[in-house]
Amino acid sequence: IIQGLRSQIQTLEAKVVEMENVQKQLELHVQNLNGTIVEQQDAIDEYERRKREDETTRRKLHNLVQELKGNIRVFCRVRPALEFDQNEGDAQESIYSIDDRNGSITAQAPAKRNLKEGGRTSSENFQFDQVFGRSSTQSEIFSEVSQLVQSALDGYRVCLFAYGQTGSGKTHTMLGSMEDPGVIPRSIQQIFSEAERLKEHDWSFSLRACFMEIYNETIRDLLSTSDTDKAHEIKMSKDGDEYVSYVSGVTIENVGSVDEINALMQRSMKNRSTASTNMNERSSRSHSVFRLYINGKNSDTGVESNGVLNLIDLAGSERLKKSNSENERLTETQNINKSLSALGDVIAALGNKSKHVPFRNSKLTHLLQDSLGGNCKTLMFVNLSPAPDSYQESMCSLRFAKKANACDIGTAQRKTHITFN
């Protein structure tokens, strides 16, 4: 018996040794695997870094192609559903499907009920340079716009419009709020920090700003400090071989800091609200034009650049329902429709390379005469409400934007010249 047990112990000991060897091998294997995982993780990190790089390159190339094509760029933004939207339940269910990589947005007519009854819903697809869905943030929007702001600093004339019906998010996009600033404050911030950075490269910049409102085909100076605003006329003056527009009697302020700009914004708000008991009413019935003149000089090379940045919050594009239009409202609406269609006509004429571009058909286009066209960069935001109730108005906005996007207005040129000291 003992011998039997001994031999069993021997066999077991041999097995233990064998198992220990197996375990060592396995441990080695695990170590190798861990090494592989680390290597693979490094590879993944590297690919992701390259992907980001490719995305940045793609964006740059896209911008370059757009620039070479000379088209008006159009960005589309759908705002999130809000409490005040009618049938808010419906609004949660988007009538838009968006492919933000391809700048594609498809609008589906809100007629689900008909569909159940055998009817059809129509859908229409639009292609823009960028489409931003309901969860897009102000900083995402600005990261796509910042190149254009940079262009103004480089000496281009730049126009940025927000187009859409009242309540679609134009002011939110352009101005935003203190907590969630929009394109205007972010642009100013960028210009100041870039100007600071460029000091090292011998550039010095001077910034001048004006802020105007066009209401019922009349220009109002939003930076005016007097109670009575003078009449303002749009005039052209010759600057070298170029004509530049200016508005007589409009306050133009030097701005040297973000604080100074903020003070201007406050003043313009005050001027806007005193003009009307209901500021939102008023601002939806008027265009606001914030204009920044950016003059740079390089003390080393003698190069000067003269850029202009126009940031425009357009009046609401909605058509007034006939039933509730009082006389005053009717005039306002006719003026708004007139100036928005004048804007469309100017863009179309520029696109057709017409000899005559009807800049003078509205105050808005007249004012922007030197900032629209082949020498300038233009970007239009088309803002959309997600509410199914707004479907008809949204379609009008989308079609307006589609026409603008199709217009080839030529390649922008920098406004620079060299002075010899």
Ligand X SMILES: Nc1ncnc2c1ncn2[C@@H]1O[C@H](COP(=O)(O)OP(=O)(O)O)[C@@H](O)[C@H]1O
Residue 165 labeled ligand binder: yes
Q: Which of 71, 284, 288, 390 binds ligand X (CB under 6 A)?
A: 284
H/E/C letters for each residue in the chain?
CHHHHHHHHHHHHHHHHHHHHHHHHHHHHHHHHHHHHHHHHHHHHHHHHHHHHHHHHHHHHHHHHHHHHCECEEEEEECCCCCCCCCHHHHHCCCEEEECCCCEEEEECCCHHHHHCCCCCCEEEEECCEEECCCCCHHHHHHHHHHHHHHHHCCCEEEEEEECCCCCCHHHHHCECCCCECHHHHHHHHHHHHHHHHHHHCEEEEEEEEEEEEECCEEEECCCCCCCCCCCCEEEEEECCEEEEEECCCCCEEECCHHHHHHHHHHHHHHHHHCCCCHHHHHHCCEEEEEEEEEEEECCCCEEEEEEEEEEECCCCCCCCHHHCCHHHHHHHHHHHHHHHHHHHHHHHHHCCCCCCCHHHCHHHHHCHHHCCCCEEEEEEEEECCCHHHHHHHHHHHHHHHHHHHCECCCCCCCEEECCC
Residue 171 labeled ligand binder: yes
CB of 251 to Mg ion, least distance (A): 22
Contact map string, positions 361 to 400, toward ligand X, x by CB under 6 A: ----------------------x-----------------
Is the Cβ of residue 335 or residue 397 nearer to ligand X in the bound state? 397
Is the Cβ of residue 307 or residue 316 nearer to ligand X in the bound state? 316
From the list 314, 306, 284, 292, the residue with the least C-alpha distance to 223 is: 292
CB of 94 to ligand X, least distance (A): 14
Give which of Mg ion, ligand X, none residue 37 binds (C-beta under 5 to 8 Å, depending on kind). Answer: none
Give which of Mg ion, ligand X, none residue 80 binds (C-beta under 5 to 8 Å, depending on kind). Answer: ligand X
Give which of Mg ion, ligand X, none residue 103 binds (C-beta under 5 to 8 Å, depending on kind). Answer: none
110 binds ligand X (CB under 6 A): no
Q: Which of 172, 186, 220, 291 binds ligand X (CB under 6 A)?
A: 172
CB of 80 to ligand X, least distance (A): 5
Is the Cβ of residue 287 or residue 415 nearer to Mg ion in the bound state? 287
Residue 167 labeled ligand binder: yes
Give which of ligand X, Mg ion, none residue 172 binds (C-beta under 5 to 8 Å, depending on kind). Answer: ligand X
CB of 314 to ligand X, least distance (A): 9
Q: Kindly indicate which of the ranges 9-17, 24-32, 160-168, 334-342 contains the residues binding ligand X, using the contact rule CB under 6 A.
A: 160-168
Residue 164 labeled ligand binder: yes
**Residue pair 351/408 in contact by the 8 Å Cβ criterion:** yes
Residue 168 labeled ligand binder: yes
Q: Which of 73, 157, 170, 415 binds ligand X (CB under 6 A)?
A: 170
Is the Cβ of residue 166 or residue 325 nearer to Mg ion in the bound state? 166
Q: Which of 71, 130, 151, 171 binds ligand X (CB under 6 A)?
A: 171
Is the Cβ of residue 73 or residue 172 nearer to ligand X in the bound state? 172
Angle between helices 391-406 and 327-351 (to 10 degrees): 30
CB of 294 to Mg ion, least distance (A): 25
Q: Which residues are annotated as a binding site for ATP?
A: 164-171
Which residues lie near ligand X (CB under 6 A)? 79-80, 82, 164, 166-172, 284, 316, 383
